[in-house]
């Protein structure tokens, strides 16, 4: 798979239509469920879910009183996410957008939620992703990320190490925690880290 393919909306739309979307676990990520049930759960606020897919994580946060907008540039994903939100009477909103074109949301969100987006974009786009996340967050905003830290060749999903994640984010974010996940789904056991970063005060 070439980097140019994953930057093309048609590539992802085809994956959804062919049901070759193996990243879709058909439920909210268990580490997010655990986080929201913990004593260190983030306080409700505005959340951007980047590369939201069918919206399971967005629906989870909306159920916990967050004001959620999910963004994805695959039409089928957004259509299905909207249908799921309507069926469950969720307050979550979903927009078909290129995540790198969200200028009108500058300093808008309290949180950015990351799950299988950073590993899906071309590695050459990672720095742009970090800058995007910072730009749409408020000055005190936080990124909550469930990162896919596998070491298999090729992609997507493109692998990365915890050290690489810190390297990308540390310019604009303070790394509060980036820890191995113990309750991943079976296919991702030992290959996920949960991170909580906040925008660096200038």
End-to-end CA distance of the chain: 39
Task: Tell me the domain boundaries of the chain.
Answer: 44-146+160-199
Ranking 59-63, 95-99, 116-120, 184-188 by mean pLDDT, the lowest is 184-188
- Give pTM, 2 decimals: 0.89
Instruction: Judge: domain 44-146+160-199, CATH 3.60.110.10.
Output: no
Closest CA relative to residue 176, chosen from 149, 144, 138? 144
Closest CA relative to residue 156, chosen from 12, 9, 47, 35? 12
The sign of the CA dihedral 75, 80, 86, 89 is negative
Scan for tokens 């991943």, then name that residue: 184
Bridge partners (DSSP) listed for residue 49: 70, 113
Phi, psi of 137 (to 5 degrees): -90, 150
pLDDT digits (tens, 9 = 90+) for 108-126: 999 999 998 999 888 999 9
Question: How far is it, in rounded angstroms, from Cα 96 to Cα 79?
Answer: 9
User: What pLDDT shows up at residue 23?
Assistant: 55
3-state DSSP assignment of residue 8: coil
Q: Please count the CA atoms within 13 angstroms of the CA of 35 that sit on its side-chain side.
A: 23
Decide if 10 contacts 73 (C-beta within 8 A): no
Alpha helices per DSSP H over 38-88: 56-63, 75-87
Angle between helices 75-87 and 9-18 (to 10 degrees): 60
| Max avg pLDDT among 16-30, 105-119, 151-165 | 105-119
Q: Find the radius of gyration of the CA atoms of the chain.
A: 16
């Amino acid at each position: 798979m070439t980097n140019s393919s994953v930057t093309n909306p048609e590539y992802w739309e085809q994956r959804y239509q062919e049901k070759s979307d193996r990243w879709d676990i058909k439920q909210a990520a268990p580490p997010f469920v655990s986080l929201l049930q913990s004593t260190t759960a983030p306080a409700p606020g505005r959340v951007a879910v980047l590369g939201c897919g069918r919206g399971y994580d967005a629906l989870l946060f909306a159920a916990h009183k967050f004001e959620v907008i999910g963004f994805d540039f695959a039409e089928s994903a957004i259509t299905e996410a909207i249908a799921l939100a309507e069926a469950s009477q969720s307050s979550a909103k979903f927009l078909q957008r290129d995540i790198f074109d969200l200028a009108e949301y500058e300093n808008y969100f309290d949180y950015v939620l990351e799950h299988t987006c950073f590993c899906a974009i071309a590695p050459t786009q990672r720095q742009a992703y970090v800058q995007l996340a910072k730009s749409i967050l408020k000055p005190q905003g936080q990124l909550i990320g469930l990162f896919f830290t596998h070491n298999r060749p090729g992609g997507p999903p493109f692998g990365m190490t915890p050290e690489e994640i810190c390297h990308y984010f540390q310019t604009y974010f303070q790394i509060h925690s980036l820890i191995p996940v113990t309750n991943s789904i079976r296919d991702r056991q030992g290959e996920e880290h949960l991170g909580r970063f906040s925008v660096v005060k200038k």
